[in-house]
Amino acid sequence: MDIDLLEPVRLGESTQWIRIRAASAGNPLLLLVQQGPGLPMINEVRTFERVLSLEDDFTVVYWDQRGCGRSLRSAGATRDLSIETMVSDTERLLAMLCDRFDRPAVVAGFSMGAMIAARAAARRPDLVATLVAVSMDIDGGAAGKNAYEFALAAARARQNRRAVRQLAAIGPPPHLTPEGFATRGRWAINFGGVRIGQTYNSMARGPGHPGDHGDDSRGAAGAGGTRPDGRAPPPGLPRRHGPGPARSGRTRLRRGALRRGADRTEQAVRVV
């Protein structure tokens, strides 16, 4: 790697962490905005490198947003966990990166991260060459309802009495407490609603790759969107390691889509 840096960055009043990696320092700039809420990105480095090899073609910025992963270690890390704050953080980070690398960025966001990236790009199109939105959250309330109904239906189909009991106890969304949100997320994940073949516990243990710099990240799991009041759901739900770039393993971010976007020269935003 020509570039492989793990750095803290100051975004407003919050210290957050990024990891920058590139096979060549001249590669186009790519910022990855995590899905969530609260699912770390830095500990996905090895998975992304193995599956997508993005660093061959881009200067890739992996970012643990406020309230999760390495950024959870900062003082006041869980203060003001709102969508507006996360969008503002994205704008600040983009401005910092574009000034540092002297070019606008390709921005790829996943799920809730796609929505945050789109809002930031709409407010600062001068900082964004191309926007790639994967499984964007359009309606957080509807996403939460679908996640709950999926988990409850799967629990009944599998005759998992414990899951049925716990899901019935919290009732339908909105789930505004850590306990309710965690219960919904846990069973939706266990039944394959986030990544096929993985459970809440297997995701919580994380990959444990040596030298991944994110092995000890902690974050909140969020199967099912944002809160209806526009705030991010409560932090600190499972330990470590969120799912990868696609829901249920069905949607994958393709290197080709990013390459096509990077070839654009005009300072415009588009959704791929």
- What's the sign of the alpha-carbon dihedral 44, 212, 181, 151? positive
In a domain, 272, yes or no: no
Does position 219 have pLDDT exceeding 90, yes or no?
no
Residue 270 belongs to a domain: no
Percent of the chain's residues with pLDDT above 70: 71
The mean-pLDDT minimum among 7-11, 33-37, 64-68, 186-190 falls in: 33-37
Show the beta-strand stretches assigned E in 111-253: 128-134
Mean pLDDT calculated for residue range 238-252: 33
Q: Which domain holds residue 118?
A: 3-262
The CATH number for 239's domain is 3.40.50.12270
Residue 262 has pLDDT above 80, yes or no: no
Question: Cβ(271)–Cβ(133) under 8 Å?
Answer: yes
pTM reported for the whole predicted model: 0.71
Q: Is residue 269 part of a domain?
A: no
Residue 216 covered by a domain: yes
Q: Residue 113: inside a domain, yes or no?
A: yes
Looking at the 3D structure of the chain, how many domains does it have? 1
pLDDT, the chain, mean: 77
Residue 248 token pair: 């249920």
- Does 242 reside within a domain? yes
Residue 258's pLDDT band (cuts 50, 70, 90): low
Does pLDDT of 54 surpass 80?
yes
> Closest by alpha carbon to 53, among 198, 253, 240?
253
The pLDDT of residue 265 is above 60: no
Residue 271 lies in a domain: no
The pLDDT confidence band at residue 194, using thresholds 50, 70 and 90, is confident
| Residue 185, domain member (yes or no) | yes
Look at residue 210 in the predicted model and tell me its pLDDT: 30
- Per the CB < 8 A criterion, the answer to whether 168 and 162 are in contact is no
- Lowest-pLDDT range, 26-40, 41-55, 119-133, 203-217? 203-217
DSSP string, 5-27: EEEEEEETTEEEEEEEEESSTTS
Q: How confident is the model at residue 223 (pLDDT cuts 50, 70, 90)?
A: very low
- 10 Å CB burial of residue 4 (0-12, 13-18, 19+) is middle
- Mean pLDDT computed over 57-86: 85
What gap in Å lies between CA 11 and CA 125, rounded to an integer? Answer: 19
Q: Give the tokens for residue 49.
A: 């490198």
Once rounded to an integer, what is the mean pLDDT over residues 164-182?
92
Query: Nearest to residue 57, comparing CAs of 21, 93, 84?
Result: 21
Q: What is the rounded CA–CA span in Å between residue 101 and residue 25? A: 9
